[in-house]
Structure formats: C-alpha cells, structure tokens
Amino acid sequence: MGMMYDRETVVRDTIQRLVTFPERRGMATHVIWRGDDEEGFYTSHMVTGSGRHTQPGIYGPPTGRLFTTRTIADCMIYENKIYREWIVGDNMVILKQLGLDPHVYAEKAAMAQFEKGLTALDIGENRRLIGQYPPEAQPDLELAHNDLERDTLLWMHEVFNRRMFGKMKDVYASNVQYHGPMLKELYGVAAITHQYLGLLGSIPDAGFMPQHIASTPCAEGGTKVAVRWVMEGHHMGYGILTELGEPTGKRLQVMGITHYHYKNGKIVDEWNVYDELSLLVQIKLAQMADFDDEFADLDS
C-alpha cells in the first residue's frame, strides 16, 4: 500500500516477508509479456503463494495457520534489470486465513501514513463523469498493440464505464471460470457479472481507467491478455466489499490487475487481483483526517 522509490526499501520489505513466512512458496502461474532486447520488456507475472505463519512480524505473534494468496506483479525491464514495478496482492485474504481483525491492521497501517502527514492515498478528479456529461462513448485505444487488445479495452469500457453489463455475455464463454479476490472460484457468466456489480455497488460512481495491456499466445491454445487498471470513486453503497462496512462517502482508489485467457474469441478463464485491505486503509486514513480537522476546529 503506497509507493517505494529505491531498491533497498524493496529488499528490506522482502526480507521482512521472508522472516515472517519462512515456509512460504511462490508458484509461478503464468507470465504475460511484450517487448524485445532493444526496447526492453514488460511482464505481468501471476504467483500463487502458500505457507504457514510461524514467526513474529507485521502480522503480530505467529498463529501457526496456513494461508494461500494470489499476487500479480507488473514489471518494466531493461538490460535484465527491473526499473519499475506494480504489485497487487490480496492481503485481505491472508488476514482472514490467519484469523486476524482487518480493522485493527488497517488502522495501524493508516496511522503510520497519517503520522507522516499523509491524509489521502489518492487525489484528483473522477474521470467517468466530467460535470454532468455522460461517460465517453469510446475509450482511449492507444494502449493496445493488436486487435484483441483493442477489443478488450472496448468491452471493458462499455461494461465498467458505461455500465452495459449485458455486454459480458458476448465476451465470456458460457463455461468461463473466475479466480478472484478472497480466493473466490466461480463458474459462469452470471457469477462473474455479479462480482463486478458488487464491486461497483460499493463504489457506485467509480470510473475505470486501464493503464497497460499486453498479450501473449499460450501453450494451452488461444491468447492470454493482462490488463492493469484503476477504479476511482467514493464509498457510497453496498456491495462485495463487506469489510468496508456502512457507506462512508470516502474517496477510494482500487488498483487491480486482471489476466484473461481467450479461446475462439471468448474468455474461458479470468484471474482478477485487487486488495480490499488497501481500501479499508484508505477509509481509516480519511476518517483520521476528519477527526484531526474536527479537533483543530474545537481548538480554534
């Protein structure tokens, strides 16, 4: 949750994770990539990690419990060195499996940011609705490198910005499998549609913005497509983000990475990763800022 700007911070945090979970094993699920030796590479690497909580660390005293989680790391690489990276991990599912209270952890994480003077993890304008205008009819397709990537950006814009959920039945196979946050394993178009309805139910004014897309032919047949995206809006409703509780109206930014497996023009598998815990931290941080403002008003 947040940004790191130097190599040593990344190394330090990795060591902390290894200390807390010495038995953890990361199993590469697949890599979607593009690039070459001259321009460099962009990779989207999904890892399924499992282990046991046996040592003290950021999650407190060891619980001895087993856990499994999914993480996707998008990396920019030049001359065999990673110089930029985006990591999206499902931290909420780890806390749940360890039997820990996510609200206690989120408050601690938010307080660490608040004490540094940070009062929001995201600022800016919601791009879905500018003034009272409707969503843009067409997305920006400059990110795409081929027809399949363009088609993917088009239908994602129609579904997530224009709220045309009926489009999903045209792009998903009837027997599609979904592998989502909180280790959800679902089957069929209706189940996947409900997952996205539930996400937008929690953040009903969310605007969807793709940030990168890449695709790779795969040995199983067909093509796999990786999309890194952001949704921005406000916590104004009820949905699948149940740990957020009653609607708070606080601004939220969701960063997610999704891998699609297309066969014969339809999506047959989807792996979707975003972190509900990071959203809970954003709400706690906003509430701390509100309390600080109220306290300052009483003092003046």
Compute how many other C-beta atoms are within 10 angstroms of the C-beta atom of residue 235.
26
pLDDT at residue 131, rounded to an integer: 61
Answer whether residue 32 is part of any domain. Answer: yes
Q: Is residue 2 part of a domain?
A: no
Q: How many CB atoms lie within 10 A of CB 55?
A: 14
Q: What is the pLDDT of residues 179-231, one digit of tens each?
A: 999 999 999 999 999 999 999 999 999 999 999 999 999 999 999 999 999 99
Residue that finishes a domain, picked among 68, 95, 114: 114
Q: Flag whether 133 is in a domain.
A: no
What is the amino acid identity at position 130?
I
- Asked whether residue 208 is domain-assigned, the answer is yes
Please compute the mean of the pLDDT values over residues 164-183 and round it to a whole number: 97
Q: Is residue 123 part of a domain?
A: no
Q: Is the pLDDT of residue 293 over 70?
A: no
Please indicate, yes or no, whether residues 18 and 74 belong to a single structural domain of this protein: yes
**Residue 288 shares a structural domain with residue 230:** yes
Nearest of 66, 57, 104, 67 to residue 89 by alpha carbon: 67
Contact criterion met (CB below 8 Å) for 184 and 195: yes
- Give the global pTM: 0.92
Residues 262, 173 within the same domain: yes
pLDDT at 24: 92
- Whether residue 187 sits in one domain with residue 81: no
Give a yes or no: residue 142 inside a domain: no
Lowest model confidence (mean pLDDT) among 81-95, 108-122, 190-204, 220-234: 108-122
Residues 157 and 256 in one domain: yes
Find residue 84's DSSP bridge partners.
76
Same-domain status, 287 and 184 = yes
Is the confidence at residue 300, as pLDDT, over 70?
Answer: no
Q: SS3 sequence, 254-290? A: EEEEEEEEEECCEEEEEEEECCHHHHHHHHHHHHHHH
177 and 291 inside one domain? yes
188 and 289 in a single domain? The answer is: yes
Number of folded domains that form the chain: 2
Q: Which residue has the higher pLDDT, 199 or 8?
A: 199
What CATH number did the domain enclosing 42 receive? Answer: 3.10.450.50
Same domain membership, residue 159 and residue 62: no
Mean pLDDT of 248-271: 96
Percent of residues, the chain, with pLDDT higher than 70: 92
DSSP secondary structure, 4-64, as one string: --SHHHHHHHHHHHHHH-TT-EEEEEEEEEEEETTTEEEEEEEEEEEEE--S-BTTBS---
User: Do the domain assignments include residue 135?
Assistant: no
Residues 95 and 155 in one domain: no
In a domain? residue 140: no
Report the alpha-carbon angle 86-263-141, nearest 5: 50
Q: Looking at residue 206, what DSSP letter applies? A: P
Q: Is the pLDDT of residue 17 over 80?
A: yes
- Mean pLDDT: which of 35-39, 96-100, 122-126 is highest? 96-100
Residue 279 has a pLDDT of 96
| pLDDT at residue 127 tops 90 | no
pLDDT over threshold 70, residue 271: yes
Say whether pLDDT at 117 is over 90. no
Last residue of a domain, one of 90, 114, 138: 114
Q: Is 111 in contact with 288 (CB distance < 8 Å)? A: yes
Between CA 96 and CA 101, with CA 97 as vertex, the angle to 5 degrees is 35
CA distance 176 to 262: 10
User: Biggest alpha carbon distance in the chain?
Assistant: 67
Burial class (CB within 10 angstroms; exposed 0-12, middle 13-18, buried 19+) of 146: middle
Out of 98-107, 258-267, 289-298, least confident range = 289-298
Same domain? 109 vs 155: no
Give yes or no: residues 249 and 294 share one domain. Answer: yes
**What is the domain range of residue 68?**
7-114
Return the higher-pLDDT residue of 52 and 139. 52
